[in-house]
Amino acid sequence: MIVAEQKSLDEIKTMLAPYQKVLIVGCGTCVTVCFAGGEKEVAILASALRMATGLEGNPKQIMEATVQRQCEYEYNEAIADKLKEVDVVLSLACGIGVQTMNEQFPEMLTLPGLNTTFLGQPTEQGVWVERCQACGNCVLATTGGICPIARCSKSLLNGPCGGSQGGKCEIDPDVPCAWQQIYDRMKALGRLEALLEVAEAKDWRTSRDGGPRKIVREDLRLEK
Amino acid sequence: MKVGSNLEKILTAGYFAATGELGPPKNADPEVIRRKAEILKGHVDAVNITDNQTAVVRMSSISVGIMLLNMGIEPTIQMTCRDRNRIAIQSDLLGAAAFGIKNLLCLSGDHQRFGNHPMAKNVFDLDSMGLLRMVRDMRDAKKFQCGEEIKGPAPCFFIGAAANPFADPFEFRPYRLAKKVAAGADFVQTQIVFNVPKFREYMQRVGDLGLLDKVYILAGVSPIRTAGAAKYMATQVPGMDVPEEYVRRMEDAVKGIPKEDKAARKAAWEEEGIRICVEIIQRVREIPGVAGVHIMAIEWEEAVPEIVKRAGLLPRPQV
Ligand code: SF4
Ligand code: SF4
């Protein structure tokens, strides 16, 4: 899922300073699951803002809404009416939701209330870790199902580097060395020989380096 | 002979090589380099110039390499994958070769987390394996990394790689060295060796893989300067293995010298540090497959002439 974190209340207040009536819009998908921008977080942020702006003697009108999936026009239609009543929207969706809102409702500015952080997985209650960088050409088949692009600090394709010690990455004793994990997994699978071949330099065109990416599926497109 | 650098000639002639290292300054002062280079001159076969080591901005490796060439000292430039993509690396290497630089050490590079610009974006377009293969293909196949032919003189380097026998997983390290050799490494410089028995075991395994005829291995050595430095290396540097024995010897070296007598303590530490370094050189020299030593005494270049002298490595052969 897409993992995000709420911006600080101070930053949000600064962003909202020029506006009086604010609609906070949460999203019911990834950011709900990672407790950053679902219905509950929208409610908590709304009351925090009401309280803070009230104490400062200039209470803002804060409205709340949560759509099922903010990255699709279809779901955002549900809140189109509410937009007429406010000066600005504060989105608690990922950056994709924020952009969808801005594109769909060009007359209304939608501000980001979250920092979209990574594509990851909850590993235990309250902990999320990065798992994929959407490189566009998945190599998990050759690395025992562990991503070296996202999980090795240097995105090495032929690790582990000389800084790997005790299963930890050289950058931080709290960061596992992805290549130690890959090694252990390949060993357990009896496939260590696959790590003896030099992995070719990666073609990054499928990644962000090739420019903004787009997928067109002719089989799914509607007849024009 | 692939390139004909002094280092390559020394190694192919079967001499025990001794190389040094020079850390460029964090400013634009050429005098520092001249001073350090003068100290190393004549005592080593080639001098490595680090490429922004530990991700701290320093004068570029290639420019210092050119200064060394002008002083009649053979440089080994370093190139990491952290700061440049394949376009920038190849471009810099064309330039380095045009100036007559012949030895190149290919590294992944330390992560910028510990440097003076932790907020920088890193590159890692290639890893050290990709870099080795690219440089080898530029030389042997006269091709750029994209496959396009290099028309006219191609850059021709004696290609080095790094290896850390002490990093984990230990049993994979010899295989990773084999990958570097397959990718194009002609010579290898190891992480600083303090744990000689473990290094011997590593070399045994490297030999078992049949690599000793394919690559020249230079054991990394370094004189420890203080007991604090020994302790720091033993506990704080990932991928370093400093046996307790050396930490203790450094501590014992200043026993009985009053704390106030800073000069005497410094002299005692430096003497012990050099002594340990010379011992390690003598011990690694006995290990089959060790073709030389790479002496890393960054910010203590003065130690190098003394170390090579005591280790019986002088005069350096003229080839
Ligand atoms: S290899 Fe690429 S697509 Fe596969 S998990 Fe890693 S970043 Fe994602
Ligand atoms: S220690 Fe492991 S995870 Fe960290 S950079 Fe090296 S190979 Fe990658």
Q: At what angle do helices A39-55 and A9-16 cross, to 10 degrees?
A: 70
Q: Are residues A91 and A151 in the same domain?
A: no
Rounded Cα–Cα distance for residues B129 and B183 (Å): 6
Residue range B6-224+285-310 forms a domain whose CATH class is alpha beta
pLDDT-derived band at A224 (thresholds 50, 70, 90) equals low
CATH of the domain at A88: 3.40.50.2300
Give the nearest chain A residue to B162 (CA atoms): A162
Q: Are residues A189 and A110 in the same domain?
A: no
A138 three-state secondary structure: coil
Residue A192, number of CB atoms within 10 A of its CB: 15
Q: What does the pLDDT read at residue A223?
A: 75
* Spatial CA neighbour of B6 closest among B58, B41, B50, B51: B41
Residue with structure tokens 């930890």?
Answer: A168
Give the nearest chain B residue to A207 (CA atoms): B125
- Is residue A60 a part of any domain in this protein? yes
Yes or no, beta carbons of A154 and B162 under 8 Å apart: no
Q: Which long-range contacts (C-beta less than 8 Å, at least 24 apart) are formed by B314-317?
A: B314/B43, B315/B42, B316/B10, B316/B18, B316/B42, B316/B43, B316/B44, B316/B45, B317/B10, B317/B13, B317/B15
> Which of B113, B134, B164 is nearest residue A162 as measured by Cβ atoms?
B164
Provide the 8-state DSSP code for B42. Answer: T
Residue nearest ligand 2's atom 4 by CA: A169
> Which of A165, A184, A204 is nearest residue B167 as measured by Cβ atoms?
A165
Q: Are residues A146 and A170 in the same domain?
A: yes
Q: Are residues A27 and A107 in the same domain?
A: yes
Q: Are residues A150 and A83 in the same domain?
A: no
> Given the CA of residue A168, which atom of ligand 2 is nearest to it?
1
Yes or no, beta carbons of B172 and A183 under 8 Å apart: yes
pLDDT-derived band at A130 (thresholds 50, 70, 90) equals very high
CA distance B178 to chain A (A): 8
Query: How many structural domains are present in chain A?
Result: 2
Rounded Cα–Cα distance for residues B267 and B273 (Å): 10
Q: Are residues A30 and A107 in the same domain?
A: yes
CA distance B256 to chain A (A): 37
> Given the CA of residue A176, which atom of ligand 2 is nearest to it?
3
Peptide bond into B315 cis (omega under 30): yes
Across A215-224, average pLDDT: 90
Q: Are residues A142 and A38 in the same domain?
A: no
- Check: CB of residue B316 under 8 Å from CB of residue B44: yes
> Given the CA of residue A131, which atom of ligand 1 is nearest to it?
5
- Is residue A218 a part of any domain in this protein? no
Across A75-87, average pLDDT: 97
* Spatial CA neighbour of A118 closest among A136, A131, A135, A106: A131
- Is residue A126 a part of any domain in this protein? no
Q: Are residues A48 and A104 in the same domain?
A: yes
What ipTM did this prediction achieve?
0.95
pTM for the whole structure: 0.96
Q: Are residues A92 and A141 in the same domain?
A: no
Q: What does the pLDDT read at residue B111?
A: 96
A151 CA to centre of ligand 1 in angstroms: 10
Chain B residues within 8 angstroms (CB to CB) of chain A:
81-82, 86, 108-111, 113-114, 122, 124-130, 133-134, 145, 162-164, 167-169, 172, 175-176, 178-179, 182-183, 191, 238-239
Pocket of ligand 1 (CB under 6 A): A 132-135, 138-140, 147, 149-150
- Is residue A217 a part of any domain in this protein? no
Provide the 8-state DSSP code for A128. Answer: E
Yes or no, beta carbons of A162 and B162 under 8 Å apart: yes
Rounded Cα–Cα distance for residues B130 and B117 (Å): 25
Q: What does the pLDDT read at residue A139?
A: 97
Give the nearest chain A residue to B163 (CA atoms): A162
Q: Which long-range contacts (C-beta less than 8 Å, at least 24 apart) are formed by B230-239?
A: B233/B192, B233/B194, B238/A163, B238/A164, B238/A165, B238/A168, B238/A170, B238/B167, B239/A162, B239/A163, B239/A164, B239/A165, B239/A170, B239/B164, B239/B166, B239/B167, B239/B191
Residue with structure tokens 């819009």?
Answer: A25
Q: Are residues A104 and A137 in the same domain?
A: no
Per-residue pLDDT tens over the stretch A13-31:
999 999 999 999 999 999 9
- Is residue A159 a part of any domain in this protein? yes
A134 CA to centre of ligand 1 in angstroms: 5
Neighbouring residues of B209: CB distance < 8 A, sequence distance ≥ 6: B174, B175, B177, B178
- Is residue A13 a part of any domain in this protein? yes
* Spatial CA neighbour of A83 closest among A46, A60, A120, A110: A110
B18 three-state secondary structure: strand
Q: What does the pLDDT read at residue B238?
A: 84
Q: Are residues A139 and A184 in the same domain?
A: yes
> Which of B81, B122, B167 is nearest residue A160 as measured by Cβ atoms?
B167
Domain enclosing residue A70, as ranges: 2-118
Q: Are residues A7 and A98 in the same domain?
A: yes
Neighbouring residues of A61: CB distance < 8 A, sequence distance ≥ 6: A20, A21, A22, A86
Which residues of chain B, if any, have pLDDT below 70? none
Give the nearest chain B residue to A192 (CA atoms): B172
Assign residue B27 a region (left: φ > 0; alpha: ψ between -120 and 50; beta: otherwise).
Answer: beta
Question: Which one of B108, B168, B236, B237 would you mutate to disrupt binding with A, by most A Cβ within 10 Å of its Cβ?
Answer: B168
Per-residue pLDDT tens over the stretch A200-213:
999 999 999 999 99
- Is residue A11 a part of any domain in this protein? yes
Q: What does the pLDDT read at residue B239?
A: 86
